[in-house]
Structure 1
């Protein structure tokens, strides 16, 4: 894979562990040319940020290497970033209501799976939007979601890649549906739909595996219909499991990395939900995020010291990939 020194500044492995078509380190000459073509098209329109090879490849894969469609997706993403002032928000973002929000909707990263990817966990059974909106707002929840995507990209995934010795670009996601009954489903899917839309449109190719555990009665029937609408590659990533999910889940996530409440053995001091444990917290693998060290905001530079208090803490995003449609965040 050819790298462009103007944009490609990586301090972690850049070759994907499996030789999949269109993935870093496993490109055809045509795909490499399409990366160059996309970059030139974006440069000609004045875009200068996020033109590195790995980012462009994610947008190209999301659009089946149709350069024009990938360009449209990238441009729409940049417009959204500008409108939301995301680059300015990330280094200084604070979410003090997180612990209270977690009482209704826990969302957290916790260690890694057997492939070295970050494990991301959501528990949807306690969602009560009316109660949550007394603590925070829908806008702040979605802003926090976007910030956590940025922190997934850097520093979480780079740290995991360093530890694994190979490029890791995706997560292993566990979505616990326990308690999501018919009466609660509309509230759950109302927020999840907004979150999934954000992830599909602006953060493509971030889903490695998705385990839907404690799936309620009747869900499997719905899933058998829905998966017929999805790309076969996406379907292979999604595993719908009932209450007896532990055996299959533990085949992917080591018991010592899985919180005890899900059948693992991990009991972090203060609770796994708030620990944010993983390679991004281990001195040997962690590095300051690029947004943490040099971010230009409104003509002034935010340094590492200004952002150090934020680190990589916070809850995490619903992980879905671009290009798919589903009633739940099981898209990829």
Structure 2
């Protein structure tokens, strides 16, 4: 897999000087056309020659470049408040209910310093997202995230004098066929992809799909139909099926990026405190839930002969408050600490397995953390052959003041 997609005008030298030498006249024509139509463009505005260059590179015909650039300027005027917030690095209140369900974030960089946008599709909760938000709200959120990427790439471009594009890395670990074929969310992806092609030309370098499951073919046949041929040409599939265990070097993706900046679940060397992407532990393998904003509890259903694992990255000396409520019958509860060093080092048992029944009410405990690692709280229903169990839970690292106050919680039921 090469850095640039087939047919890319920037497949060779991405230096701005050489690009303007080749395309400078078309850039000037585009800016003159936009200015003549009453748009504020050119030197001294955000919409200068560097901005216009991306449209010229994406559209071989001047009229097409002008049409898309004008549409972009109209869209940016209509969405100026959202775009201004993105420029200030503000998190918008109207996206607060969306962000916990979409496990995605700009994190890490390529070998040339371009940003990576990492998506953990398998543990993002698209069903909860589409059940609680409109199509328009979700598309707007996607475009807000795209603007953040554009701002990063534009800043690097101006600093390095080289046209910079982003690489998206979509981790497909734990993707299910059901989640992959949610028609409402695939419609959102299709709309966002179409808008991005108009509003953010020459922004996407490569879209890397990694840890593809065996059902990937069925999912891809649906998603690719929503993409233009130009976007599909930028998609690359990594041959590694599990970057947690396998050799990341087998994936051409590894040659593009600075592995030390990439999260450990992708085979990289980064283990951010609290998790590298959206505060979700690098060890988490189950879909994120949708917690109640009033009590912070996350509901979940644990199928018969199955278990739920909740992961929280912790430091030595942390105190972690755990709360579990079972709606009917009971589940087995246990907790262990997975060392930060990884490898084959054994987990440390922090809470011996016991059965907690619904008639006992809520179970609460503050667990002391002896060393850096990942706390794994296990709610086990494997012993039940027929009955699924509905639970609500909360696991959180306490602030110092809260830890002192809650350290006296009665845990006689353990």
TM-score scaled by length of structure 2: 0.52
Residue 266 of structure 1: aligned partner: 270
Task: Give the alignment of 1:119-198 within 5 angstroms.
Answer: 119-133=116-130, 137-154=134-151, 156-158=152-154, 160-161=156-157, 165-187=160-182, 188-198=185-195
User: Aligned residue for 1:201?
Assistant: 198
Equivalence for 2:207:
210
* Structure 1 residue 26 corresponds to structure 2 residue 18: yes
Offset at 1:78? 1.9
More helix, by proportion: 1
Q: Is residue 2:79 matched to residue 1:84?
A: yes
Q: Structure 1 pair 194/119, CA: closer, same or farther in 2 (3 Å)? A: same
73 and 39 in structure 1: CA distance in 2 versus 1, 3 angstrom threshold: same
Structure 1 position 72 matched with structure 2 position 67: yes
- Residue 256 of structure 2 corresponds to 252
Quote the Cα distance in structure 1 between the aligned partners of 2:84 and 2:103: 26
Q: SS in structure 2 opposite 1:125?
A: helix
Distance in structure 2 (CA, Å) of the matches to 1:191 and 1:210: 17
Cα distance between partner residues in 2 of 1:224 and 1:128: 21
Distance 1:17 1:61 in 2: 11
Closer, same or farther in 2 for the Cα pair 1:100/1:255, shift >3 Å?
farther
Q: 1:159: how far off?
A: 5.1
Matching residue within 13, 36, 43 for 2:35: 43
| Aligned match for 1:54, one of 50, 54, 58 | 50
Q: Is the 8 A contact 1:104 1:132 kept in 2?
A: yes
C-alpha distance in 1 between matches for 2:140 and 2:20:
37
* Separation of aligned partners in 1, 2:146 and 2:200: 8
Matches within 5 A, 1:84-123: 84-86=79-81, 87=83, 90=86, 94-96=91-93, 101-123=98-120
Per mean C-alpha deviation after superposition, the further-off stretch among 24-33 and 171-180 is 24-33
CA contact (8 A) 1:220 1:240 kept: no
SS of 1:57 mapped into structure 2: helix
Higher relative contact order (CA 8 A, sep 6+): 1
Residue 161 and residue 35 in structure 1: after superposition, are their counterparts in 2 closer, same or farther (change >3 A)? closer
| Distance apart, 1:98 and its partner CA | 5.8
Work out the CA distance in 1 between the residues paired with 2:76 and 2:106: 24
Q: Closer, same or farther in 2 for the Cα pair 1:138/1:126, shift >3 Å?
A: farther
Q: Distance in 2 between matches of 1:149 and 1:222?
A: 23
Structure 1 pair 264/62, CA: closer, same or farther in 2 (3 Å)?
A: same
- Greater Rg over alpha carbons, structure: 2
In 2, the alpha carbon distance for the partners of 1:112 and 1:253 equals 6
8 Å contact kept, 2:105–2:118: yes
Match of 1:8 in 2: none
* Counterpart-to-counterpart distance in 1, 2:219 and 2:278: 33
Structure 1 residue ranges without an equivalent (≥5)? 1-15, 276-332
Gaps of 5+ in 2: 1-9, 280-414
TM-aligned CA deviation for residue 125 of structure 1:
2.1
Aligned-partner Cα distance in 2 for 1:28–1:250: 31
* Superposition CA RMSD, Å: 3.5
